[in-house]
Structure 1
Amino acid sequence: MVKRRERTRQLIELGGLVAKAGLVELTDDDRAVLFGVMIDAAATLKSEQRDQALTLWRRRGRRAFEQLQNE
């Protein structure tokens, strides 16, 4: 039962990140577009650009979290 709750919480938090990034509004809540964006990100992570992408995205994410805390 605990694992199910943890998984549910994880999915809710991940959905929240999609919303916080503005992707829901920017795509008019088009699930196919959102899925396509994630597939492209996964392809990048499977490529030779993985380390560069992770570094860039991590920096951007941390800055965005900081900005949200300061609002």
Structure 2
Amino acid sequence: MTKLTKKNLFKVYDAKPETPMDKTTRVVRQMVDEETEQRDAKNSRLRNARLEREANRPPVPKDSAASKSRRTKATSTR
């Protein structure tokens, strides 16, 4: 009996050639991943610009009259 090794114990299968559908799937996933990276970079850049703009804006004083809301009590008519 022969000595068992990885080479003779397991069969080695050649990789299947890439089908046109596999190629299309690979290319489309690559395109989607690139678009996602670009979108995330843009969102991050815009978020940082907004936060910087908000941090540099002077505080707006609130009017005491404008901040109070006026409510009227509803009176029942009998």
Q: Smaller-chain TM-score range? A: 0.3 to 0.5
Structure with the larger RCO, 1 or 2 (CA within 8 Å, 6+ apart): 1
Give the greater-gyration-radius structure (CA). 2
Q: Which of the two has greater helix per residue?
A: 1
